[in-house]
Amino acid sequence: MSTLTVLEPTLRLDAPTVKLQSPKQADRQLQVVIPDLFSSIMAVEPTINPHYKDVKAEADAWFKSLLQLKGKAEATFNKTDFGFAAAVWAPSADKDRFRTAVDWANWIFYFDDQFDEGHLANDPAAAQAEIDSILAILDDKPTLAQTDKPLIYAFQSIWDRIKAVCRPLLRERWKDAHKKYVEGLIYQTQRTKLGSAASASVDEYMSYRRETIGVILAIRLVEYAENIKLSQAQMDHPALQLCTRTIVDLVILSNDILSYKKEELNDAGNNLVTILKAQNLSDQEAMDKIGRMLDACYESWYNAMDELPVWGAGIDQEVRRYLVVCRNVGLGNLHWR
């Protein structure tokens, strides 16, 4: 997906090459070498929240009941484990805040999928109506009953819990991130409907994907779950902004590698490999290009770390915790199952 975008683990990471085969060219198989996604700052084993199993069971039961997932829909949901991603994102969160994080993880993947491969992908008008419902909740407009729009109600429940306990500054950051995200989704659906996604330049693609992939949303969620305390001035420091954007880019690049086989079979244009191939690169050349972009991300991270100021022991500790949050969001994306 396009959010914290759902990983499609169709490219084997335990092998040096992978095979791509188009249904339109059943006699053609293509082997490509993919970049190592578990290197540099991603070369660490994730820590898992100790409440993971208990909270996942509670959160999944609530979500399935709310959306009335039965039969095939329930079976599909049961194959996923969005709670595990949250357990990597927020390994130190207390049980209540972790529950909210898992509920949000379940919600975002379902909400985002509507715009990626679902009924809203090519319908900007219906997409706008869905987004208007989210914006109304963020602006504290009249509340919904559970039966009105179950998926929107789930978001309302999550937002109510966050508002009740987090600081005003973080509430505003959370609102701002979600508003930018849903605005980006409208732009994405318009491009999809026009069939112009694959014609974007690399810079254009990365720019709008940074808004729609949902990584900033996950980081803001984990700020709440892990109770990170940074002022807006500290958060706006260029070095911290660069660290944040670097993780966003790492997730975009790794997701596009992992999802490419499926998207290539479905003729999807919303993928960096497809965009690079439209610029006359081969599959392997596109993968190699993305590998160099990953290396540039790692370099940017360490360069940004060198530029961080010294604010004092207390603030510096919060900055370190925030950087761990950013890295953990990237790790959760890679290790999600």
Residue 133 resides in a domain: yes
State the Cα–Cα distance between residues 275 and 282, nearest whole angstrom.
11
Residue 13 resides in a domain: no
Q: Which helix (H) or strand (E) holds 217?
A: helix 215-225
Number of domains observed in the structure of the chain: 1
Which of 113, 114, 116, 90 shows the shortest CA–CA distance to 102?
A: 90
Q: What whole-number percentage of the chain has pLDDT above 90?
A: 67
Residue 288 resides in a domain: yes
State the Cα–Cα distance between residues 263 and 8, nearest whole angstrom.
9
Which of 246, 249, 225, 261 shows the shortest CA–CA distance to 300?
A: 246
Q: What is the CATH number of the domain that holds 306?
A: 1.10.600.10
Residue 60 resides in a domain: yes
Residue 212 resides in a domain: yes
What pLDDT is stored for residue 146 in this prediction?
A: 67
Residue 136 resides in a domain: yes
In the predicted model, is pLDDT for residue 105 greater than 90? yes
Residues 54-102: tens digit of each pLDDT: 999 999 999 999 999 999 999 999 999 999 999 999 999 999 999 999 9
Helices first, then strands: H and E counts in the chain: 14, 2
Residue 5 resides in a domain: no
Q: Average of pLDDT values for 19-32? A: 58
Residues 268-294: tens digit of each pLDDT: 567 899 999 989 999 999 999 999 999
State the Cα–Cα distance between residues 206 and 272, nearest whole angstrom.
8
Q: Which helix (H) or strand (E) holds 34?
A: none
| Structural domain for 33, as ranges | 18-335
Q: What is the pTM of this model?
A: 0.88
Residue 9 resides in a domain: no
State the Cα–Cα distance between residues 160 and 215, nearest whole angstrom.
21
Alpha helices in 230-270 (DSSP H): 232-235, 238-265
